[in-house]
Each structure stands twice: as C-alpha cells, then as structure tokens.
Chain A
Amino acid sequence: MKYLTRQEWYGALVAVLVLGVLLSIASPYFLNSRNLSNILVQASVIALLAGGQTFVILTGGVDLAVGALTALAGAMAGYMMVKLGIDPYLAILTAFAIGAGVGLFNGYLVAFVGIPSFIVTLGGLTLWRGLAFDATGGFDMSGMPEPFPFIGYGELFGLIPMPIVVMVLFYVSMSFVLSSTKLGRYVYAIGSNEMGARQVGINIRWYKLGVYVVSGLCCALAALVLIGRMDSSSGKMAQMFELDAIAAVILGGTSLFGGRGSIIGSLLGAILITMIRNGMNLLEISQFKQMMAIGAVVIIAVWIDVIRRKRLLRK
C-alpha cells in the first residue's frame, strides 16, 4: 500500500476511480463494458501523444506542436494512399519519417542552438499545420485502404478494439524505455539537474535531441490510429490535441519543471481527460462549458504540481 501511495501517478489513479464512481451514480449509461471500452478507444490518440510528451516534459521542455505534427503526418499519409495510390505500408513509413524528421528539427534547435522548446514548438504549431494544408492542397481524403480500417475499428480476437491494443503495447514498451534504457534514465537526470548531468559526463545535447524524436515518432503513430478511426485525413485534424496531451501528462503527476514523473501517470491522465469529456457528453453539458471545464482542469493540475514542488523543496 505504501508503495502505491508513494507513486507519482497515485493521485491520477485515485482521480480516475473517484470520477468513475461519481459518473456511475450521475449517469445510468456510464458503467457498462461498451462505454468503458469506448472511453479507452477515445483516449488512445491522446494517450499516444501524451507518451511522447512525457519524455519531453521530463527533460523540462514542452512540445506544443504535437497536434500540428499529427495533422502533418496523418494528412500526408492519407494523401499518399488515397490520392496518389501509394502502398499503405510505404505511407506508414513516410508518416514515421516525417515524425522523426520534425523531431530532429525541433531537437536540434532546442538542444544544439539553444532556442527554448516553448518557442520552437509554438512556431511549429502553425508551421507544420500550414505545411499539412499546403502539401495536400487543403483537400480532405477519405476511404483509407487496409490496414487502416483494421487499426481504427478492428478488434483483436473479435474482442479488444485495436486502438486499445496499440495503446497498451505502446505503454508497455515506453515504460521499458524509460525505466531500463540509457535514454530513459538520462532523461530523468537531465530534467532534475541539467548541470549535474553534464558534469557526470552525460552528452545532454544528444539525449535532449532524442526526446523530441521520440515525441515526433509518437505523433506519427497517433496520426495513423487517428486516420484509421476517422477513415479520413485532412490538415484540419487533431486541432488543439497538444492541450489534451500536455494536460494528460500533468494530470498524471509528471512535473512541468522536469525530472519527476512516470509514463503510467500519463496513460491515467489521458483516460481521466477522456472520462471527463465522456461524462460531460452523457450528462449533456454544452460545448462552451466543456471547453471551460478542460481549461480549468489543466490549471488546477499545474497548481497542484507547483504546490508539490514547493513542499518537496522545503524538505
């Protein structure tokens, strides 16, 4: 029990359970296997983005361009398959190449040139979305070829929706990377004490570059699941997903100041955000109030993070 309460993601777990109980009481439609599986499917894209975002935030940076990069990778892949008739697997490779390429670009500017990540990715927010519109001529594509219908709507063993399978596999491998590889351990070291990490001989530039590449690849994966789920692609997709992804990471107990947090927390955070939206839909709460609620949740989560950090520093 003590092990559990000491985890950074403990708060998120409690929040998910409490909200689950509250919603079960408030709406007779919440607690059934169909709705719970819906929530996990709807959380999948945000969860994938939050996974990559966790790496960036752990180093003390932030990636605001994840929604735009998702749109770029997705719109390009869709355009290649539907308009140009290119093999879907080649389009998938291209999406990952775009994700890695933009990640390298962001990482280079942050780690080697020294531009704050906030600025690089704020510019990227409109740069990559603009490129997505430009490269596809602003047209929507629909009718994705296999394997996209399977990724979006298929079910493993006719039981578990594929987006959930992708999400679970992703989180298993990401938590391995974060806990058991050099990159993962150095990410924590850089985030908690960048100067110290440099002095013990960690090449912080390369590892910082690495986290943006990870985030870029996650965007590509998220884009592939998203176009499968929508059976269409366009430069318009994934609007404001950066907010949900960053919120999921912060709600999951990862500190915005870097160095502290967990990947499992981000998964719980993504589920929490989706539950909030699902609950508000079932309780028939209007669009404007939903927007206000999500914004408020983000501010409260950062507030809690700031308080926790102050307590930690006092100790």
Chain B
Amino acid sequence: MKIKLTSIMVDDQDKALKFYTEVLGFVKKMEIPVGQYRWLTVVSAEGPSDVELSLEPNANPAGKAFQDAMFKQGIPIAAFEADNLDEEFKRLKELGVVFTQPPTQAGPVAIAICADTCGNLIQLYQPPQG
C-alpha cells in the first residue's frame, strides 16, 4: 500500500486552481468534470510523482464547518515542504499571500503559516538540513 493521494477542501475550485498553480507553483494533473464540480488534482513541479493533492469542493456542510473552525483557530490544514523557507516566504509575500506566522524556527524545523485564499491555512516548513 502507498500514500499517493490526499485532499484539501476548497471553497471554490477555480480560485483554488489559480492559487495552487499560479501562486504556490504546483502543476495541474487531473481535471475531470463531475456534475457542477471537477475531480481536480495538482502535483508539485519539483516532484511530479510525489503525492497528488485533490482540490475538493467543500459542498458538504460538515466539511464547511470543519474548515471554518480550523481556519478561525489559526490551525493549518496541510503542510508543504520548502527547500528554502525564507526564499519562499519572500516570493509568496511579493505575490500578495497573507501570512499569519512568518518563518519561525521550531527546533530543527522552520515553519511559516499562510492563507490559501480558499478557506484554509497552510503550513510551509523547511526540514532539518543534512
């Protein structure tokens, strides 16, 4: 068994595709219309065979409530790894991304938290070097 797919709920798939590709820099992998929604996934340009991330509509009220509560509590719902967190922070800030936490050292790991414009907070982290 492998971990090849995970998902994140988004409040609007168009908005999400724009943010996850044009701002974060991921690449669209799948886009299949299903009724009024789409099966929509992205992968990292740096690791196209890594885990696939599905951008799922948060049309289920239970999902909406969970997403909303986590956001208000300032809790990130997903984490993406960066080779150089300071550089990513600078790049994303210039693109207008809102950070609730700047790069902060937490032991051997550096973390930062930003909003994905689709109702989620995302943690970016730089793993320990070496």
Do chains A and B interact in one complex? no
B residues within 8 Å of A by Cβ? none
